[in-house]
Amino acid sequence: MNLAIIGATGNVGRKTIEVLEKSEIEIENLYLVASKKSAGKKLKFKNKDIIIEELEKYDFSKAKFTIFAAGSEIAKTWAPSAAKKTIVIDNSKYFRMNDEVPLVVAEVNPNDLKNHKNIISNPNCSTIQLMLPLKPLHDKYRIKRVIVSTYQAVSGAGKASVDELFSQTKDYLNEKEIVSKNFSKQMAFNVIPHIDVFVEDGYTKEEWKMENETKKILDKSIGLSATCVRVPVKTSHSESVNIEFENEYDFNTVKKILSKAPGCKVIDDHKDGGYITPLEAEGEYLTYISRIRKDHSNKKALNIWVVADNLLKGAALNTVQIVECLVNDTKK
């Protein structure tokens, strides 16, 4: 089976290569595609040098599956024509709310893949990790409403943003002037309650995405209110989540459900350090759940803390898992 990655030299593209190396997908030929600037350079895959091809000259018919990891403009320009020759799995936001395009979290709604028309969309990174604990809880108790505050790593904004965090931190410690190019305010030693552009009602597009993607993936009847915050962390997003069910629930049953949730691991010891932080989740495939508590203000509500590597489960890993689902389905 042949597979291609568009945007192979970016953060998500490189992570996708790493995940594919560990995957059980049998790849005969891997095609790495990027801009003219990167064409001709080499990246390794399973100890083999692969020459990067130029997007404008690439023949999409060479691969059965093509992972787009290059942003909305590239997806808008190239994915529709590519889908005539290959199955596209797109990491950008461009197709997410298109009714003709499945929006899939591998452990949550893989059956939606049956309806694809050669384009499949990967959800927003902060949405993906939220869906993993919500799905089994919703199956059991029916979720009425979710309130989520995110603490999102700078790697979600690209390599330039990571570099800026490092440079700002260095300048701050050396008492030099702080320059912000990729953030609306100083990022080092600060938090910024603003991710993506603002929309008319005062929310940001990131918050809008979490609300509407949850409805599309899980259940359109679920109410969700999000506050998305950028924090000075390199990798892994964290979320403080309040979940309100339609009826009262059994707390021990909830803990058992979360402990068995696909793709998740509960680490919830009531002692110093008995929880997961972004640093520990970096490089891990699992989505971690900690701080499971009853909401004392509402007998129908629950609080949890959710952490996952935004470049892995939030992007590269989920796209590869989608390919695995498609490959396994053809074997049945």
CA distances from 309 to 186, 260, 276 (A): 23, 20, 12
Give me the residues paired with residue 264 across strands: 287
Give, for 14, the enclosing helix (H) or strand (E): helix 11-22
Q: Is 237 a catalytic residue?
A: yes
Give me the residues paired with residue 45 across strands: 48
> What's the one-letter identity of residue 231?
V
Dihedral class, residue 27 (left if φ above 0, else alpha if ψ from -120 to 50, else beta): beta
> What's the one-letter identity of residue 289?
I
Select which of 116, 138, 237, 264 is catalytic. 237
> What's the one-letter identity of residue 325?
C
> What strands, in cross-sheet order, belong to the sheet with 53-54?
53-54, 29-34, 2-6, 65-68, 87-90, 119-121
Select which of 116, 125, 138, 264 is catalytic. 125
Pairing of strands 48-51, 2-6: unpaired
> What's the one-letter identity of residue 67?
I
DSSP track, 280-299: HHTT-SSEEEEEEEE-TT-T
Q: Is 325 a catalytic residue?
A: no
Helix (H, G, I), strand (E, B) or coil at 185: coil
Of 319, 119, 296, 108, nearest in space to 216 by CA: 108
Which residues does 199 contact at the CB level (< 8 Å), separation at least 6? 205, 208
Catalytic residues: 125, 237
